[in-house]
Amino acid sequence: NAGVMQNPRHLVRRRGQEARLRCSPMKGHSHVYWYRQLPEEGLKFMVYLQKENIIDESGMPKERFSAEFPKEGPSILRIQQVVRGDSAAYFCASSPSGGTVGQFFGPGTRLTVL
Amino acid sequence: KNEVEQSPQNLTAQEGEFITINCSYSVGISALHWLQQHPGGGIVSLFMLSSGKKKHGRLIATINIQEKHSSLHITASHPRDSAVYICAVGATGGSNYKLTFGKGTLLTVNP
């Protein structure tokens, strides 16, 4: 039973480019969460999605960031016109249902903006 | 002030020592999680608890809801336990999926 998959594991972008981070949840999981870990800081909640729905995006920056979880395929976190401050590790987690059921984390994508 | 505070920030131990990492939080929670993150690596969920105590191998997690405090203990520590240990709390009510994280405790176990 494969765990949560994220790709790419490492992504390098120049300022102004777009970054697309993908997350495939564990089999049978329909709830996905994205977290960001800035250097020297703790993880921060960004967004919670169920299939085709954004449930809570209160942690997402208002501009340039968007997320989706289509009916088919992985969840995508998209960052447009990246800036150096976007350099961070982005983790995805999934769960079979929402709430207090445990979340299973992926290996993360480390984004470096040059 | 962070809602979740961990101590110590850094901890160095000799192989075989008993380790304790502490976590205090200031808000009501639905559950508390302990996570492990190896350098440059992903995150592994160790425990989720809302009361009492849980044990898995050499790891023990306890929580005191009244005192808003949790501890993670490692018995007979080993160099492979070296990692960052992160405490996270789930909000109450309808947002109980939303985790708030401590900054982590970097544990180094020397042989």
Selected residue of A6, A21, A58, A103 to mutate for chain B interface (largest B Cβ count, 10 A): A103
pLDDT of residue B93: 78
Q: With an 8 Å Cβ cutoff, are B50 and A108 in contact?
A: no
What is the bridge-based pairing of β-strands B43-49 and B59-64? unpaired
Tokens 């790709």 found at: A7
| Bridge partners, residue A34, by sequence | A47, A92
Per-residue b/e over A17-45, b at no fewer than 16 CB within 10 Å? eebebbbbbbeebbbbbbbbbeeeebbeb
Residues B48-73, mean pLDDT to the nearest whole number? 95
B99 touches chain A (CB under 8 A): yes
pLDDT of residue A98: 75
Per-residue b/e over A77-98, b at no fewer than 16 CB within 10 Å? bebeebeeebbbbbbbbbbeeb
At B104, the pLDDT band (50, 70, 90 cuts) reads very high
Number of CB pairs, chain A paired with chain B, less than 8 A apart? 60
Task: Report residues of chain A scoring pLDDT below 50.
Answer: none
Residue B27 has pLDDT above 80, yes or no: yes
Q: With an 8 Å Cβ cutoff, are A99 and B41 in contact?
A: no
Residues B59-67, mean pLDDT to the nearest whole number? 95
Please say whether the beta carbons of A44 and A59 come within 8 A: yes
Measured between CB atoms, which of B42, B45, B102 is closest to A102?
B45
Q: In the sheet where B4-7 sits, what is the strand order?
A: B4-7, B19-25, B69-74, B59-64, B52-56
